[in-house]
Amino acid sequence: MIQLYPLSETSTITKVAPVTSRVSPWLATIAYPIGRSLIVPSFFRQIEVTGQENLPRSGPVILAPTHRSRWDALLVPYATGRCVTGRDLRFMVSANEVKGIQGWFVRRLGGFAIDTNHPAIGTLRHGVELLQQGEMLVIFPEGNIFRDGYLHPLKGGLARLALSAESSHQQLGVKIVPMSICYSQPFPQWGCDVKIRIGSPLTVADYNTASVKQSAKHLTADLEAALQELSGQPIWEEPS
């Protein structure tokens, strides 16, 4: 199962290489229905999804879910993908997730690799290009999987990427949709429950009014507040 990553605020950008991604029409036609009607329902006892009316049916979108399990990578398409919105998703995934048989599927279902320690300019550019093309992109803003009952501070890369895309085209209309994924068990086992809450979109253009640094900080803070309200989890703080 794939793991998705956001951009790190302190990452050093290196390497310049073209990056592409695609969704195989025939594979997506098979994979989405199987995941939605067989794999996910057979594992979870109860799946509660609210807020799907907040999902834009068109235009550039970043889905920003909390990250609590590798099952998130299947539950996000379950709650937001082509069976719900008619849209396929694109994913930023770590480089080791696009190897072997798993990588074969990932690359054909919208995934493209990012070196989380040294993200390439080409990868970041591709994320912007996808938004310019009106795609729906998935980035987990906390970065890693956290099972401790806290919402962890968000990375700033998601906001900067969104602002960069919005600045590239007048009235592009990038939206960021916060999502909370909450399991009844810290390590989901067969028969557990899951609640998925989808919040109101944040309009990126509303934040594109100051310096990139200040705008990204404001946008990240509002996204964090939205995720905290959806999840009901306190913000994790560094021990003093």
- R_g (Cα) of the chain, nearest Å: 17
Instruction: Please state, in angstroms and rounded to a whole number, the distance separating the CA atoms of residues 173 and 203.
Output: 7
Q: Which residues contact 170 (CB under 8 A, 6 or more apart)?
A: none
Predicted pLDDT at 178: 98
pTM: 0.86
For residue 146, name the pLDDT band (cuts at 50, 70, 90). Answer: very high
The per-residue pLDDT for range 64-104, each reduced to its tens digit, is 999 999 899 889 999 999 889 999 999 877 666 667 776 77
Per-residue pLDDT, averaged over 224-229, amounts to 97
Inform me whether the pLDDT recorded for 15 exceeds 60: no
CB 223 within 8 A of CB 159: yes
The tokens for 160 are 């900067």
The per-residue pLDDT for range 161-214, each reduced to its tens digit, is 999 999 988 889 999 999 999 999 999 999 999 999 999 999 999 998 878 889
Inform me whether the pLDDT recorded for 14 exceeds 50: no
Predicted pLDDT at 1: 41
Residue 238 burial by CB count (10 A; 0-12/13-18/19+): exposed, middle or buried? Answer: exposed
The tokens for 57 are 């049916």
3-state secondary structure of 189: coil
DSSP string, 125-172: HHHHHHHHTT-EEE--TT-S---SS-BPPPPSHHHHHHHHHHHHSTT-
Predicted pLDDT at 5: 45
**Annotated domain spans of the chain:** 25-231
Most confidently modeled range among 48-57, 65-74, 152-161: 48-57
What is the topology classification, in CATH, of domain 25-231?
Glycerol-3-phosphate (1)-acyltransferase (3.40.1130)
Inform me whether the pLDDT recorded for 56 exceeds 70: yes
Backbone angles phi, psi at 103, to 5 degrees: -60, -35
Predicted pLDDT at 149: 92
Inform me whether the pLDDT recorded for 240 exceeds 90: no
Instruction: Please state, in angstroms and rounded to a whole number, the distance separating the CA atoms of residues 235 and 227.
Output: 10
Taking all residues of the chain, what is their mean pLDDT, rounded to a whole number?
86
Strand partners, 196: 49, 181
Backbone angles phi, psi at 204, to 5 degrees: -65, -35
